[in-house]
Structure 1
Amino acid sequence: MIPCRGRVEVGPLRLERGGELPQVELAFETWGRWDPQRKNAVLICHALTGDAHVAAHDPQDRPGWWEAAVGPGKPIDTRRWFVLCSNVLGGCYGSTGPASPVTSGDPSSRWGGRFPTITVRDMVHAQRRLLDALGIDRLALVVGGSLGGMQALEWAVTYPDRVEAAAVLAAPPAASPHAIAWNEVQRQAIFTDPAWQGGDYPPDRPPRRGLALARMLAMTTYRGRDEWEARFGRDEVPPGTDPVAARAGDYATAPRPGVPAEFFRFQIESYLHYQGEKLVRRFDAATYVTLTRAMDLHDVGRGRGGLKGAAERVRARVYVLSISSDLLYPVEEQRRLVRALRRAGKDVTWHVWRAPWGHDSFLVDGAGVARRVMEWLDEPGAAAAGPREGAAVAVGEGRP
């Protein structure tokens, strides 16, 4: 019996960029019952600031980040599927990362700024060891969005014999210079915070302002222009009604000298400050640096003869979701992946979703996205070619 929560030591891990982590531990959660005969295991991979808590385990449990998608009677129905999600290597929610102790049992020996450079491929290697430890030798589906989609793609290429189907949501075959540039600006916001101290800050005195500013910058790439126009426009926050603004100096850009924070602020500004403040309360700055760098290094064709060589390794059926309003990983980037898979003769279905919420649409309408993925999973061979070049197919209307 596989527990619904746990941590597994997967041993030392030699890293793609050089060096080795002497001991790696991964935190995980599961839902449903694994049936080795039915091969019903679904691996869900989380995005940048996510964790292993995809959904609540009971009515008293807190909701998960894909709550509407996973559970009894939901699109990924845990009465049928055994669902597993692990906190990624480099994370800060129980898995080995910069916030972890270098020496087991000694919390004062944090990795901090000494944590080595890792890649998405390293994350997948660590996940494979986790599955080995749990006795799971094959996945019916691996699915994820953004950083999670990078992992899903790496799984299909790195371990083709262990994956029957992969759903790559809002993720490219390789990080573009544009995406790398945005991540670098975010990291510099953290580095310029005096509290950063090269990543070796005390846990109770992290670079709060730098991390909040990094998150504010990131949000400008995560959401859609049309959504913000409809949601905020040029509306201002009534003076004295913005609790975030009053604390802005502690988290992000300080108010102008002599001018109260609530004197003048657009609603979109208040929203960004709120997002920055919220992340600071739950996430580690050095982890943010580590994982954004791993996203920058993502290139599924590295060392494999490019994208063409990577595509030829795939044996799984592949579902690719593009989001029409995605500013971070635009449709053209997934188009390159789909073309490479088709030219290699692979079974690939591609959908372009006309969603207004930008890159985060797969989180905003998790149920709609998961429903389409599971419908595709149940229809092997049906319309495998997907839309013709240049066509766009709406996956669903979703919900605001």
Structure 2
Amino acid sequence: MALAVLFPPDRPLRLASGERLGPVQVAYETYGRLNGAGDNAVFLCHALTGDSHPARHRADDTPGWWETMVGPGRPVDTDRYFVICANVLGGCAGTTGPWTAGADGHPHGWGFPDITVADMVTVHRELVSALGVRRLRAVVGGSLGGMQALEWLLRHPDDADGFAIIAGTGRQSADNLAWNAVARYAIRNSAALSPGPAAEADSGAGLGTARMIAHLTYLSEQSLHRKFGRAPRREGTRTHASTTVQGDFAVESYLEHQADKFLRRFDPRSYLHLLGAMDRFDAFAVPDRLRQAAVLPEVLLYSFAHDRLFGPEHSARIQTELAARGLAARHEQDRTTDIGHDAFLLEVPGFLDVADRFLQGLDTCPRALCDDLVSR
């Protein structure tokens, strides 16, 4: 992981809220090499609880969150592309967020300003410029990462040859908002968020509950049934003797494990800020710049039939909205897996093949050549 310090105090980041923030520290990782023309870079946008480490750099490295997509011979081929991934603004994996120090030297904590998906993209673009990239080959993201890719497309369409928006949405549905409201309620009412001295004594109860709620939206009912059904809890997985406190079933111990693991790596304040950014995102309610683009980029929308978080109807709406603005986007849908939303992170051959062909298609017509062809 590398760190970049952007937006110095004399040129702070102006957030969508109007507040200013600076300097901004950004944790990022790169793979491959930037070519002489500075135009072979692919920017990866991570999901809600992701970070800047999508894949291993070497065999003994820690596995990343998108091993199926990134690496030599993978769709985002690190032998071919200069790949960049950065922890989002407001995150807790190295980038400025509630956990980092403010101007007074103390952590921002609850004083950290509200952020938007647009603010995240502003920071990404500044990092891309600082790394010497002249033009991106593609911006690729899933879930919250797909929101970032869509925001980037609508407001800065000339930045890249192509945009891949995977299992994404242009705005949250009422169902999505409701699940996030329950998660917020759980965190807000935990000891960690109580006012006064107890505020720093995080019991983890709220954030753990929020993680369990979210995890259920990432998996389909079919995949949960196939994996667990009504199988009993394994020996040694209880932390309390009473079945009233902890039920008898394996699916409960699985969710408890996901919650406990999450508490070791995530900050509840970051989680709330990122949830808020997702809930406020309404991509097509804000003027876009597509009609000002020199050449419209290629756009891939990819959805999964059994995704109960951002299913095919979300991608279909994005496609319709883009078409109304003169941009024909391709929408591919996978029906081969019933895993659910998390399918975009896993080995789904049809999906990976489509992503590979999309990126290779961008390679066959470099932007400079395409610009020349259009001008003729």
Instruction: Mark yes or no: TM-score above 0.5.
Output: yes
Q: Which residue identity is paired with 2:222?
A: D
The count of aligned residue pairs is 358
CA distance in 2, matches of 1:184, 1:167: 29
CA RMSD of aligned residues (A): 2.4
Q: How far does residue 215 in structure 1 lie from its aligned partner after superposition?
A: 0.4
Deviations along 1:143-188, one digit per CA (max 9) or x if unpaired, are 0100000001111111111111000011111122221111111011
Q: Which residue of 1 is the match for residue 79 of structure 2?
A: 79
Pick from 359, 371, 375: which aligns with 2:341?
359
Q: CA deviation at 1:328?
A: 1.2
- Partner residue, 1:343: 324
| Mapped contact 1:169–1:322 kept (Cα < 8 A) | yes
Are the structure 2 counterparts of residues 170 and 47 from structure 1 closer, same or farther at C-alpha, using a change threshold of 3 Å?
same
Letter in 2 for 1:98: P
1:74/1:333 CA distance change after superposition, 3 Å: closer
C-alpha contact (below 8 Å) 2:6/2:126 kept by paired residues? no
SS, match of residue 375 in structure 1: helix
The one-letter amino acid of 2:310's match is Y
State how 1:271-310 maps to structure 2 within 5 Å.
271-304=254-287
- What is the aligned partner in structure 1 of residue 162 from structure 2? 165
Paired AA for residue 335 in structure 1: A
Equivalent residue letter for 2:188: F
Partner SS, residue 58 of structure 1: coil
Following TM superposition, by how much is the alpha carbon of 1:366 offset from its aligned partner in structure 2, in angstroms? 6.8
Kept after mapping to 2: 8 A contact 1:7/1:94: no
> Contact 1:191–1:198 at 8 Å: present in 2 too?
no
For residue 356 of structure 2, give the secondary structure of its aligned residue in structure 1.
helix
Q: CA contact under 8 A between 1:124 and 1:155: conserved in structure 2?
A: yes
Cα distance per residue 1:343-388 (max 9 Å; x no partner): 3332411111112111111012377644421212223699xxxxxx
Specify whether residues 227 and 199 from structure 1 end up closer, same or farther in structure 2 by C-alpha distance, changes over 3 A only.
farther
How far apart in 2 are the matches of 1:47 and 1:282? 15
Asked whether the equivalents of residues 74 and 356 of structure 2 are also in contact (C-alpha less than 8 Å), the reply is: no
Aligned to 1:322: 303
Compute the displacement of 1:195 (Å): 2.4
The answer for the alignment partner of 1:152 in structure 2 is 149
Give the deviation of 1:63 after TM superposition: 1.0
Q: Structure 2 counterpart of 1:276, which letter? A: A
Q: 1:259 to 1:381 in 2, by over 3 A?
A: closer
Is the Cα–Cα contact under 8 Å of residues 150 and 173 in structure 1 kept in the other structure? yes
| Contact 2:76/2:359, CA 8 A, preserved across alignment | no
TM-score, structure 2 length as denominator? 0.88
Are the structure 2 counterparts of residues 54 and 380 from structure 1 closer, same or farther at C-alpha, using a change threshold of 3 Å?
Answer: closer
Distance across 2 between alignment mates of 1:347 and 1:201: 53
Structure 1 segment 83-94 matched on structure 2, within 5 A: 83-94=83-94
* Aligned 1:29-68 pairs, distance under 5 A: 29-37=29-37, 39-68=39-68
Matches within 5 A, 1:73-222: 73-103=73-103, 106=105, 109-198=106-195, 205-222=201-218
Partner of 2:70: 70
Q: CA deviation at 1:342?
A: 2.6
1:236 pairs with one of 232, 235, 241: 232
Any idea what SS the aligned residue of 2:284 has?
coil
**Deviation of the 1:316 alpha carbon:** 1.4
**227, 249, 254: which one pairs with 2:223?**
227
Judging changes above 3 Å, is the alpha-carbon distance between structure 1 residues 235 and 42 closer, same or farther for their aligned structure 2 residues?
Answer: same
1-side partners of 2:174 and 2:289: how far apart? 20
Are 1:375 and 2:357 counterparts?
yes
- Cα 1:312–1:197 change in 2 (3 A) is farther
What is the TM-score with the length of structure 1 in the denominator?
Answer: 0.83
Deviation sequence 1:61-83 (CA, Å, 0-9, x none): 11111123211222221111110
Output the amino acid matched with 1:289.
L
Residue from 245, 249, 258 that aligns with 1:266: 249
Q: In the superposition, relative to structure 1, how do residues 286 and 381 fare at CA in structure 2: closer, same or farther (>3 Å)?
A: closer
Higher mean alpha-carbon deviation, 372-381 vs 205-214, is at 372-381
Letter in 1 for 2:74: K
Gaps spanning 5+ residues in structure 2: where? Answer: 365-376
Aligned amino acid, residue 343 of structure 2: S
SS at match of 2:276: helix
Residue type of the alignment partner of 2:208:
A
| 1:263/1:80 CA distance change after superposition, 3 Å | closer
Match of 1:332 among 308, 313, 316: 313
Deviation (angstroms), 1:227: 0.5
What is aligned with 1:388? none
